[in-house]
Structure 1
Amino acid sequence: MEFTEIVAVVALILSLLLLIKVFSLQSQLNDVKSDLEWMNNRPNNIGMMNSSSNKEIVSQPKVNDVDADLEERLRFMVASNQKIKAIKVLREARNLSLKDAKDYVDQLERDI
């Protein structure tokens, strides 16, 4: 291989690595935009949710310590067709199993 061919291959590899990094950053940017949209669309009154549905959800085992802010954020994600992200956020926030988080988000989806 000549020197120019080696330089071209190295440039191609670096370009691919940069492209992967750009996609990763775009994904992170989308997550931040989603969080910002959630924060901008939050109602001023957190107590606007139906209290009977809250009792039903809170009574579930292993998920009863979800605070109002997290629940509101999860409801927003479910309403925005981001159910998988809502499950991921709940799992990370409360260290739940996939099944427990999915059941909780499914219950939120039924309540909406």
Structure 2
Amino acid sequence: MQWDEIRENWTALIPSVMARWPQLSEEQLTGMSGERGELVAGLVQTGTEAQEAEREVEDWRETPLPLDAYADPDHDQAAAQDAKGYVPEGEDPLADDRRFGDDDVPARPLGRR
């Protein structure tokens, strides 16, 4: 993950951060904005040495964005906005799909060929 991605998804990442560092409280984490320095300082406040906290945070940053954070509802609107890039210019995404040729064919019951 990159820090801009972490800041953008901070609220959704809090459960992942709490699983990684159970000594951090939810109140501490919700008071943070997803900045690296805040997370390191929070770990130092719980008794972790500064160098160790820096290393742990960097190790965590190098992991991929957790799926539960990616699937957060905040991403739905962004995904919908991105999807319009896949619709050719001039095509209405809500238009009738008869051109695909199977609108008049009844669906087969499940399990039957």
TM-score, normalised to structure 1, is 0.32
* Structure with greater contact order relative to length (CA < 8 Å, sep ≥ 6): 2
- Larger-gyration structure (1/2): 2
TM-score, normalised to structure 2, is 0.31
Q: Which has the higher helix share?
A: 1
